[in-house]
Each structure stands twice: as structure tokens, then as C-alpha cells.
């Protein structure tokens, strides 16, 4: 063996022995003014803020566009703050909102941000009528009236008139959603084709005033953001953001440990556990909006018995699931509003108590148990939860079979009220408590023909005239604290009386290089922020 081969063999041996630790030592580091993120971004189908409705697209829009009303990333629980609108007033009847624009703000194109751009953007979102447009149209705007209802009275003043009185916080929260992004009218209209208000062009380009502009996007591959040196909050530290679509957790972990990326957003519990020993990497946790629940179809007499419903709530092994197979990716939560939302309810009245469940079933006349089907989609985490439920139900004689299927089969059955027990997840659509209250606690017409498939209360045939009224009242209450209190009450009732067993809320675990600070994923109410990041 010559000297070279010898030293090579020694090096290889040393490397293989040192394998677990040496990966942590970075060979390469990303440039100090550049943030490189790995994430699954294959849900981006459009970059037009009037159409974006999924996570990765929302993340991008949150950094490229500004909204009239926004959040302080470091204090998300404080609620909305002035954004492109410097201030606002609400008329005495609660229907007219007058926004004063922040002076001196410019779009990436150099055009000034005016009230006309704001009016154009909101009108545009209503007229284009893409999936998230309901967030605006629920205030009575239609393609026909929106140009009257939302208009600029001068360059700095935007006036918006809703069809009835709504809670101020509700209106402002909705304006902070992605659909409320303010688009550069001049740039968008320069690219208009066939009266589409720049839709085809904006699907793949950006025209915002945010901290970053879009330099390039390759679907399912990557996008690159370039800093906006004239940003009204001050130019961000990270001059460029590279986002790379890496679907595999193990691959993300390797890149992170190697220092080729700064942030890994989809690490599995195994890879999170594997990271804990590494000195160059840290893990941060943040609550997200996704709620895991199961619900009982009220068209089935057995499942409509209140005592049976209560028994189910005492059967679930909440802590056990969160601590074993869900390993830090979910936390126990039992109310329909995600934690960190206005009106959050932290009470967790239920814990596993099999004796009590047995007694409740006996009171309901079901002491011998019954047979039931759990409808669940064939996704790993949901199947594990379903199996846990199945095992526990068996202890009190409830023989549950799993009806496993694809999204089409399971959601199809759910939307047609053909399920028995449905196990699934729900995420809020915009940062206001009405989003989930409307779904879980509002059912104005329980008739099958009403086909209110967007409402979970309807899907479970749960007829609730009183709670429906309470939900309608809460969305109109102008005092923010009173409103929060109303939602707490509705949720407390819902916990006790509903056929919904809310079990868990999602926790997002992010892997970061040690030197990355100020990376906010946006919690349950918002999207990720890049302009706060420092290295």
C-alpha cells in the first residue's frame, strides 16, 4: 500500500467511525446575506394573491405583498396592526370603513402605493372569484357592486362599505389574509390580456410592495426572492431567499446538517430526534392552525345520543397519542378554535376515563356497545390515530371498523353525509375566529337539500338553531374583548354538547442552523416571515 492509499484508507476509516458527529460539522455554509430554505412547495399552483389558498403560496405572498392590515411577526397573538393602511375609522353604523394609506410607500416597480391600487386589488379579488374570494365576498361584495362598495376617494383614502354591521376585528382580520394583498395596478394592467386584470401574468410574476420581489419560480423546484431595498419597514438583512422544493425529510436533514440550507421545514419526528445531538442545528416549535378531530353523524340514532357523545369524549387517549406516535407534532387541544386565535379556549375538560365512558354508555342504554365505522383517509398519521381509537373503543364494546379510502372516497362520503364517524383535520381559512366558528358551530339549514357542504355542522347533520344565532351574533360584536368572550362561551358549549371530538392541534417543528434567528413561521394565524431573519 503506497502512502497515498494508506492515508486515504485511514481517512475513510476515521470518517466512517466519526459518522454520527462529523455530519454536524459544516463543510460549506450559505452566504451570510442569503437565506436558503427547504420546504415542500408543490402546493403552489398560482402566485396571484387573488387565487393563492395553500400554505407555500401564502408564505410567498406574505413576503412579496403587503396588506392594508397586518401582524407584528414577533407578537402574533396581539392581533392585527396597521400595514399599508396607516390608520382607519369605522362609521357609527359600523358599515363604512375609511382607511388612510401610509405615505411614501412604493411598489417594486417604483410606482407609489395609493388607495387606487388598494381598491383595484380588492375589487379584482372579488371579480376574479377564485376559491379564497369568499373571504371578501362574505361582506356582501359581488362582481357587480364591488366597484361601488370599495373605492378610492383620493390617492390616500380608501372607503369600504359592508352590507351589514360586522365586528371590526372580523373585517380587519379578513383584510390581513393573503387575498387582501395589495397589487400594483399599473403593472398588473400593463399585462392585462382579455380583460383578466393581469391574472395570467400574475400567476407567474409578482407586482407587490413587500420586503422581497420574486426573481424566479420553477413549479415544484424552487423560487428565488430578491430584497426590496426601499421597503417601508427598512430593507431586510437577507438580500436573497432561495426556496428549494425538497419533499424528503431525510434529504432535508442531510442538507441542513451539511450547512447547504439554513432552514428545513418538513422534518419527520425521527429526523427531529436525530438532530438533537447536533451542535450546529436547532429545532424551533410553533403552533399551527390545523385541528385534528372526529365527528359523529347525527343521522345515526345511536351516535345522536348525548350520553354516547360524551362517552366518546372520555374514551380518547389524548395525552397518550400526543406523547407516543405523534411525537411532538401535535399537542392536546379540545376546542374548535386553534390556540393563538382570538377567543382561544385553553380548557381541556376531557381526559381518558374508561370507567366513566362505560357508565355513560350504560345510561344511554348502550352498555353492550355497538358497531360503527370510522371513515378515514389513507394517510399515515390519521390511520395511526384511527387505530388508537379503534383499540380503545373495543374496551367498552364498541366495535369500530376502519373505512379507509382516498380523498375522493372519504371526503365524498363526508360531504354527502354518508359517513358514521369521520376522522379528519381542519385548518382555518383566514385569521379570524369566524372561520372555524362558521364551520363547526353554524348551521342555518340542516335539511339535506341545503347542501351546505362547506359547513362541518351540516355535514354531521347537527341541527343547532341556538348556537347558529350565537355565532352570527359573535361575528357582529364590535368590542374585541366581548367578542373573544362570546367565542369562548360558544366553544365551551360546543365542547359539551357537540358531536365533534376535537383532540389535537398541529405543532410545526422547524430545523434551523444555529445562527439563524428571527424566523417566524406565522403560527396559526399567519404565514412565514423572511424579512425578520438575521444570521
**Binding other proteins by CB under 8 A: which of 203, 327, 373, 417?**
203
Is residue 445 a contact residue for other proteins (CB under 8 A)?
Answer: no
- The rounded distance, in Å, linking the Cα atoms of 113 and 32 is 31
Nearer to other proteins, 349 or 412 (CB): 412
Between CA 507 and CA 526 the distance in angstroms is 14
Under 8 Å between Cβ of 297 and 422: yes
Q: Nearer to other proteins by C-beta: 27 or 89?
A: 27
Which is closer to other proteins, CB of 346 or CB of 408? 408
Sole binder of other proteins in the list 19, 229, 279, 355 (CB under 8 A)? 19
| Residue from 6, 164, 395, 451 binding other proteins (CB under 8 A) | 451
Angle at 159 (CA atoms; ends 155, 164), nearest 5 degrees: 170
Residue with Cβ nearer other proteins (5 or 92) = 5
- State the Cα–Cα distance between residues 50 and 39, nearest whole angstrom: 23
- Give me the residues paired with residue 277 across strands: none
Q: How far is the CB of 436 from other proteins (least distance, A)?
A: 11
Q: How far apart are CA 117 and CA 288, in angstroms?
A: 32
Give the residue with the Cβ less far from other proteins, 308 or 411: 411
Query: Closer to other proteins at the Cβ: 85 or 256?
Result: 256
- Strand pairing of 240-245 and 222-227? antiparallel
The Cα–Cα gap between 160 and 149 comes to 6
Say whether residue 216 binds other proteins (CB under 8 A): yes
φ/ψ of residue 185, rounded to 5: -60, -45
Q: Using CB under 8 A, which of 220, 324, 391, 482 touches other proteins?
A: 220
Helix 168-175 crosses helix 480-497 at what angle (to 10 degrees)? 90
Nearer to other proteins, 453 or 517 (CB): 453
Residues 6+ apart with CB under 8 A from 344: 335, 337, 338, 488
For residues 199 and 393, which CB has a smaller minimum distance to other proteins in the complex?
A: 199
Tell the smallest beta-carbon distance from residue 152 to other proteins (Å): 30
Cα–Cα distance list, 454 to 40, 52, 415, 438 (Å): 27, 18, 8, 9
Q: How far apart are alpha carbons 191 and 185 in whole angstroms?
A: 10
Taking the complex as a whole, how short is the minimal distance between the CB of residue 313 and other proteins, in angstroms?
A: 24
| Least distance to other proteins, CB of residue 30, Å | 8
Please, what is the minimum distance in Å from the beta carbon of residue 303 to other proteins?
Answer: 22
DSSP string for residues in 146-212: HHHHEEEEETTEEEEE-SS---HHHHHHHHTSGGGBPP-HHHHHHT--TT-TTHHHHTT-----SSE
Q: Please tell me whether residue 23 binds other proteins under the rule CB under 8 A.
A: yes
Q: Is 88 helix (H, G, I), strand (E, B) or coil?
A: strand
Angle between helix axes 306-315 and 380-394 (nearest 10 degrees) is: 110
Largest CA distance in the chain: 91
For residue 131, state whether it binds other proteins (rule: CB under 8 A). Answer: yes
Place of cell 367578542: 483
254 lies in the binding site for other proteins (CB under 8 A): yes
For 439, phi then psi, to 5°, come to: -85, -45
Give the one residue of 1, 3, 5, 16 binding other proteins; rule: CB under 8 A: 16
> Least distance to other proteins from the beta carbon of 24, Å?
10
Query: Is residue 7 within the footprint of other proteins (CB under 8 A)?
Result: no
CB atoms under 10 Å from CB of 377, counted, come to: 20
**Helix extents (H) in 78-155:** 115-128, 134-137, 146-149
Q: What's the closest the beta carbon of residue 487 comes to other proteins, in angstroms?
A: 20
Q: According to CB under 8 A, which residues from 394 to 413 bind other proteins?
A: 405-409, 411-412
Establish if 42 lies at the interface with other proteins (CB under 8 A).
yes
**Binding pattern to other proteins, positions 258-287, x when CB under 8 A?**
x-x---------------------------
Instruction: Tell me whether residue 341 is exposed, middle or buried, using C-beta atoms within 10 angstroms of its C-beta: 0 to 12, 13 to 18, 19 or more.
Output: buried
Instruction: Give least dist CB 419 to other proteins, A.
Output: 13
- Could you say which of 214, 236, 255, 267 contacts other proteins (CB under 8 A)? 255
CA dist., res. 329 & res. 509, Å (int): 7
193 binding other proteins? (CB under 8 A): no
* Residue number, 79 or 132, with CB nearest to other proteins: 132
For residues 439 and 157, give the distance between their C-alpha atoms in angstroms, rounded to a whole number: 34
Please identify, using beta-carbon distances, which residue of 77 and 222 lies nearer to other proteins: 222
Selected range binding other proteins among 226-234, 266-274, 333-341, 446-454, rule: CB under 8 A: 446-454
CB of 202 to other proteins, least distance (A): 11
25 vs 323, beta carbon nearer other proteins = 25
Q: Which of 7, 9, 31, 285 binds other proteins (CB under 8 A)?
A: 31
**Nearest distance in Å: CB 323, other proteins:** 28
> Residue 110, interface with other proteins (CB under 8 A)?
no
Under rule CB under 8 A, residue 196 binds other proteins: no
418 binds other proteins (CB under 8 A): no
Q: Which of residues 343-362 bind other proteins (CB under 8 A)?
A: none
* Sequence-separated (6 or more) residues with CB below 8 Å from residue 303: 296, 297, 309, 372, 420, 421, 499
Regarding 331 and contact with other proteins (CB under 8 A), the answer is no
Write out the residues near other proteins by the rule CB under 8 A: 12, 15-16, 19, 22-23, 27, 31, 34, 36, 42-43, 45-46, 53, 131, 203-204, 216, 218-222, 224, 242, 244-248, 250-251, 254-255, 257-258, 260, 405-409, 411-412, 415, 429, 439, 451-454
Amino acid at each position: 500500500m503506497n502512502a497515498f492509499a494508506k492515508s486515504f484508507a485511514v481517512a475513510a476509516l476515521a470518517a466512517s467511525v466519526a459518522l454520527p458527529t462529523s455530519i454536524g460539522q459544516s463543510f460549506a455554509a450559505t452566504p451570510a446575506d442569503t437565506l436558503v430554505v427547504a420546504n415542500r412547495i408543490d402546493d403552489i399552483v398560482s402566485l396571484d394573491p387573488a387565487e393563492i389558498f395553500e400554505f407555500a403560496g401564502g408564505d410567498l405572498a406574505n413576503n412579496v405583498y403587503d396588506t392594508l392590515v397586518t401582524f407584528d411577526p414577533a407578537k402574533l397573538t396581539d392581533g392585527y396592526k396597521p400595514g399599508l393602511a396607516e390608520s382607519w375609522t369605522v362609521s357609527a353604523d359600523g358599515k363604512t370603513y375609511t382607511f388612510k394609506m401610509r405615505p411614501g410607500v412604493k411598489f417594486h416597480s417604483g410606482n407609489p402605493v395609493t388607495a387606487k391600487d388598494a381598491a383595484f386589488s380588492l375589487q379584482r379579488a372579488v371579480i376574479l372569484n377564485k376559491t379564497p374570494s369568499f373571504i371578501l365576498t362574505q361582506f356582501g361584495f359581488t362582481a357587480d357592486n364591488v366597484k361601488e362598495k370599495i373605492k378610492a376617494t383620493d390617492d390616500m383614502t380608501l372607503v369600504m362599505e359592508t352590507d351589514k354591521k360586522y365586528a371590526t376585528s372580523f373585517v380587519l382580520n379578513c383584510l390581513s389574509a393573503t387575498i387582501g394583498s395589495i397589487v400594483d395596478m399599473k403593472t398588473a394592467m400593463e399585462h392585462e390580456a382579455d380583460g383578466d386584470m393581469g391574472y395570467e401574468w400574475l400567476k407567474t410574476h409578482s407586482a407587490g410592495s413587500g420586503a422581497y420581489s420574486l426573481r424566479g419560480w420553477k413549479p415544484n423546484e424552487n423560487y428565488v426572492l430578491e430584497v426590496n431595498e426601499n421597503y417601508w419597514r427598512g430593507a431586510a438583512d437577507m438580500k436573497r431567499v432561495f426556496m428549494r422544493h425538497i419533499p424528503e425529510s431525510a434529504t432535508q436533514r442531510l442538507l441542513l446538517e451539511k450547512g447547504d440550507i439554513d432552514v428545513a421545514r418538513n422534518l419527520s419526528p425521527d429526523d427531529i430526534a436525530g438532530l438533537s445531538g447536533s451542535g450546529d442545528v436547532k429545532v424551533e416549535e410553533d403552533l399551527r392552525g390545523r385541528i385534528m378531530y372526529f365527528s359523529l353523524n347525527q343521522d345515526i340514532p345511536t351516535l345522536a345520543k348525548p350520553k354516547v357523545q360524551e362517552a366518546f369524549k372520555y374514551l380518547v387517549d389524548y395525552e397518550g397519542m400526543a406523547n407516543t406516535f405523534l411525537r411532538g407534532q401535535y399537542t392536546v387541544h379540545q376546542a374548535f378554535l386553534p390556540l393563538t386565535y382570538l377567543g382561544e379556549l385553553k380548557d381541556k375538560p376531557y381526559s381518558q376515563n374508561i370507567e366513566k365512558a362505560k357508565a355513560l354508555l350504560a345510561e344511554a342504554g348502550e352498555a353492550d356497545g355497538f358497531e360503527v365505522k370510522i371513515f378515514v383517509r389513507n394517510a399515515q398519521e390519521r390511520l395511526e390515530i384511527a387505530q388508537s381509537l379503534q383499540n380503545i373503543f373495543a374496551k367498552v364494546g364498541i366495535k369500530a371498523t376502519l373505512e379507509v379510502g382516498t380523498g375522493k372516497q372519504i371526503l365524498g362520503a363526508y360531504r354527502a353525509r354518508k359517513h358514521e364517524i369521520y376522522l379528519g383535520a381542519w385548518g382555518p381559512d383566514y385569521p379570524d375566529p369566524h372561520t372555524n366558528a362558521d364551520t363547526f358551530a353554524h348551521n342555518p339549514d340542516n335539511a339535506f337539500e341545503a347542501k351546505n357542504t362547506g359547513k362541518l355542522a351540516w355535514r354531521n347533520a347537527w341541527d343547532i338553531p341556538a348556537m347558529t344565532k350565537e355565532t352570527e351574533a359573535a361575528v357582529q360584536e364590535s368590542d374585541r374583548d366581548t367578542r373573544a368572550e362570546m367565542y369562548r362561551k360558544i366553544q365551551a358549549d360546543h365542547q359539551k354538547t357537540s358531536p365533534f371530538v376535537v383532540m389535537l392541534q398541529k405543532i410545526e417543528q422547524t430545523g434551523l442552523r444555529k445562527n439563524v434567528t428571527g424566523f417566524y413561521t406565522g403560527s396559526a394565524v399567519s404565514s412565514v416571515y423572511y424579512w425578520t431573519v438575521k444570521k
